[in-house]
Amino acid sequence: MTNKITNIKEVLSEPVTIPVEAYVSESYARDERDKLWRKVWLQAGRVEEVPEPGNFITYEVLDDSVIIVMTDEGIRAYHNACPHRGRRLIDVPPGAHNAKGQRSQFFCGYHGWRFNTRGENTHIPHQDDWQGVLDKQCTSLTPVKVDTWGGWIWINLDSDCEPLQDYLDPVTSMLDPFELQNMRFRWRKWGVFDCNWKVAMEAFNETYHVQTTHPEFNKYGAFRGWAKTHGKHSNIGYERPKDMDENQSAKLRVSENDDPRVSTAEMQTYTWEKANTNTTQTLVDAANRLAEELPEGTPADQVLKHWIESARKDDEARGVIWPTVDPAHVAKSGTAWQIFPNFQIGHSVNNALCYSARPHGYDPDKCIFEAAVYELFPPGEEPQTEWEFSPPTEEAWCYVLSQDFSNMAAVQQGMKSMGFSGTKPNPYMERSTANLHRNLAQYMGTGSPKPLGDNKK
């Protein structure tokens, strides 16, 4: 099988098995700090969170805390540690997702050392006591590599890392046409979940689970999907009938069952009310007009075309302009991209659903899970949102996501069973999971996927 984007033979197209070490081992979890989290590019926030000079946010992963601040010269990032005695300059409020604020300088509450937003030391009490040996190098904040793409801020703790664009390739070329930088939060939530961060990410990086975990969607069509690898990263999408527009491979899909005018409206309404993701009010309203605007018997491909064009016009009338993306490119881009190691972008032309997970301390059974829905809004009408702490319940997240969450802790516990020999991902639909562990093994030096038949030889 050849990948249409990279034009090379697909890797991991044969069945493999993955050992449980990466999910349950305490020593593996500790090794991740130096071998993984301090070596990769991490999505750490949005550009619009630091709009003016002095605006800052923090990002924490295990023992490392990073200050991300807007300066007159652009966004900069520093280790959140005073070079004097190591005290954090910014404390995260108890129970908060991160710290944020606006400052012209950072002040150490221990001994009063001060730093401007360029990381330069501006004041040391009794500096003469050091007999003149303090210099700029040992008194400035330690910089962290930082860059932006897609409207997100990315950091890398490795000072010798490759450029962000090289690291993300080919994600940027595939998703740039969707102009994700123009979207803004509709909602954003986070919580501490009872599973490893990989279990959390793997709950959303394939469509194989849809038929069983979300049975309510089965009446709207077949949700058989594919997964493709792209070096460090991967993407997933849906198969489509041969007579359907290539948009049907992506997120904005019509129902294939019964009368597509009616069932598409039902599917959009259900998604809006029970998932609160993957659609917008404009798309729901346009779907609910299909039965009025199209005659009975209209083929599904024409329903899809009319629905998207109608919603696009409705949004244009209120000042929301969708990017125009060629259907063939939409089909190749699929429904979501898994960016190694811990960020997923579920993209479309007018909204996005993104997931992220990272360790919660060194307990392999815990993780910090985040999800956010982005949307295009009329200029000046973007909602003001905050990170909302949310336990993994239906009341906090809506019904559909709670269905996914119900698997996570159960998977984490089941993996520790004496009778479990390792995961066996579907080589067509769950290849993203296998690719995650193939790349993890390159960083960690252990846990590489093995051919599933090897244990029978």
Nearest 5°: CA angle at 153, between 149 and 159? Answer: 100
Beta bridge partners of 236: 227, 336
Dump pLDDT digits (tens) for 100-152.
999 999 999 999 999 999 999 999 999 999 999 999 999 999 999 999 999 99
Q: 21, 17, 20, 19: which is closest to 451 by C-alpha?
A: 17
d(CA 10, CA 59): 35
The residue type found at 73 is E
CB-neighbour burial class of residue 73 (10 A; exposed 0-12, middle 13-18, buried 19+): exposed
Nearest 5°: CA angle at 394, between 389 and 364? Answer: 60
Q: 132, 133, 114, 116: which is closest to 124 by C-alpha?
A: 114
pLDDT at 301: 87
pLDDT at 6: 46
pLDDT at 244: 64
pLDDT at 284: 97
CB-neighbour burial class of residue 276 (10 A; exposed 0-12, middle 13-18, buried 19+): middle
User: pTM of the predicted model, to two decimals?
Assistant: 0.94
The C-alpha torsion from 127 through 128 and 129 to 132, rounded to 10°, is 100
Please state, in angstroms and as integers, the Cα–Cα distance from residue 113 to each residue in 61, 84, 127, following that order: 25, 8, 10
d(CA 256, CA 251): 14
pLDDT at 171: 98
pLDDT at 457: 43
Tokens of 126: 């009794």
Mean pLDDT by 10 residues, the chain (457 residues): 51 92 98 98 98 98 98 98 98 97 97 98 97 95 98 98 98 98 98 98 95 90 88 92 63 78 94 96 97 94 93 98 94 95 97 98 98 97 97 96 96 97 96 98 97 69
d(CA 293, CA 246): 23
pLDDT at 311: 97
Collect all residues with Cβ–Cβ distance below 8 Å to 346 and sequence separation of at least 6. Answer: 204, 251, 277, 278, 335, 336, 352, 353, 354, 355
